[in-house]
Amino acid sequence: MTVRHIARWDLDKTYLRTEFDTLKDLVRTAFERPDEKRTNPGAATVMRELGRAGSCVHILSGSPEQMRSRIEAKLRIDGVRWESLVLKPNLENILRLRFRAVKDQLGYKLSALLAARASEQNKTGPLPVETLFGDDAEVDGFVYTVYAAIVSRDIDLDVVVAICQAGEVYPDTRDAILASAQSVLRAPAVERILIHLEARTPPSEFADFGSRVVPFYNYAQAAFVLLADGRLDGVGALRVATELVVDHHFDGESLAKSHGELVRRRALPSAIGEKLGASMESLAVRGPARDEMLRMVSAIVAAEAAESPAPSERPCTVDWVARAKRKHKKKR
C-alpha cells in the first residue's frame, strides 16, 4: 500500500505525561508499569484517528531502548497502531563513553529523521508528506524545522555542519547527518509541525520558525489544525473533543475558546466550523457529551461567520547557529 502521509511522533511530554526533571522522576519513570504511564489528554485519540484516516504512524523518542517492551505495552493499552518505534541507545552510548549523546537530542533525532526519509525513497510510489509532533520541553521545534529545511534544500550543508558543532554533536553522528542530507530527494516533505506546549512556552517563541510550526495547548487545538489540513475528518476531530469533555473536564465553551485562541494567533489554516457541523450526524455520542459538542460547534460556526480565520503566512527566519547554541546551553 502506498503511504501518502506520515505522522511522526515524539513520546515524552508529547504523547506521554512524562516527568524527568529530577533524578527521582527518572527513576520513577523507568520503573512505571505500562498501565501506570499517563497519556496526555486527547493524544491517543488523535493518533488513532490519524491511523483511521490513512496516515502511517512512526514514533521517534528519546526514551531508552531498554523501555521498549513497556512503551509498546502502553501503546497497545491505548489502542494505537504504529509502523515503527525508534528509541535511544543510551546503554550503548554509556558503554562507549559517549556521555554527551545520552542527553543529545539534536544529533540523535536529526540523524534518525533523515535516515527514515532516505529509506522512504526506496519504496514504490510518491514520497509521502509528513506531520511532526513534538513538545517544548526539548528541541523538537528546532530539530524538526532544521529537518524540513534540509529536505527542501532551504539550508546549506555548511550551515548544517555549524549547527552540529554548536550542539556538540559527535563527529560520526554529524557525518551520518550529512550523508543522509545529501542522499534525500529534494521535496516539500514537512507539511506541519505541531508542538505541544507542555512547559507553557509562549507561542511567540516559535514565530521565527514560520507558519508551518503551530504550538498548541491541548489536543483539541491539534485536531482542529489537522482537520483544516485535511489529515483528520470532522468525525475524528469531534472524537478528540468528546474525549476531552468526557474524561478531562472540558466543556463546549472551553473548546470553542481553544479554537478562538488559534484564530487570534492566525494559526488555523482555514475555517472548520462547517466540517464539524456536517459531521455531527455521524458522531455516535449521546447525552451531555453530545450537548457540549453541539455548543462547541455552534460557537465555532458563529465565530467563523463573524470573522473567518486569516492564517498568517510567515517564512522561516531562524538564525540556525544562534538557536543551536541557545538550545545547547539550556540543555546543559
At residue 28, the pLDDT reads 60
Class of 5-210+314-331 in CATH = alpha beta
The pLDDT tens digits of the residues spanning 39-82 come to 999 999 999 999 999 999 999 999 889 899 999 999 999 999 99
Q: Where are the beta strands (DSSP E) in 124-205?
A: 129-135, 190-196
CA–CA separation, 17 and 137 (whole Å): 12
> For residue 257, what are the contacts with CB-CB under 8 A and spacing of at least 6?
none
The distance from CA 40 to its chain's CA centroid, rounded to whole angstroms, is 12
CA–CA separation, 64 and 76 (whole Å): 19
Best CA proximity match to 194, nearest among 157, 153, 240: 240
What average pLDDT does the chain have?
91
The pLDDT tens digits of the residues spanning 161-185 come to 999 999 999 999 999 999 999 999 9
Look at residue 145 and tell me whether its pLDDT is greater than 70.
yes
- Say which range, 18-22, 247-251, 283-287, has the weakest mean pLDDT: 18-22
- Say which range, 125-129, 258-262, 281-285, 297-301, has the weakest mean pLDDT: 125-129
Task: Read off the pLDDT of each residue in 86-109 and give the average, rounded to a whole number.
Answer: 80
Look at residue 281 and tell me whether its pLDDT is greater than 90.
yes
What is the location of CATH 3.40.50 in the chain? 5-210+314-331
Element holding 246 (H helix, E strand): helix 234-248
Single-letter amino acid code for the residue at 105: Q
Look at residue 231 and tell me whether its pLDDT is greater than 60.
yes
What percentage of the chain carries pLDDT values higher than 70?
92
Look at residue 295 and tell me whether its pLDDT is greater than 80.
yes
Task: Read off the pLDDT of each residue in 112-119 and give the average, rounded to a whole number.
Answer: 94
The pLDDT tens digits of the residues spanning 307-329 come to 877 777 899 999 999 988 886 66
Band the pLDDT of 1: cuts 50, 70, 90. Answer: low
Whether residue 241 contacts residue 296, with contact meaning beta carbons closer than 8 Å, is answered with: yes
Q: Could you tell me the pTM of the whole model?
A: 0.94
Look at residue 30 and tell me whether its pLDDT is greater than 70.
no
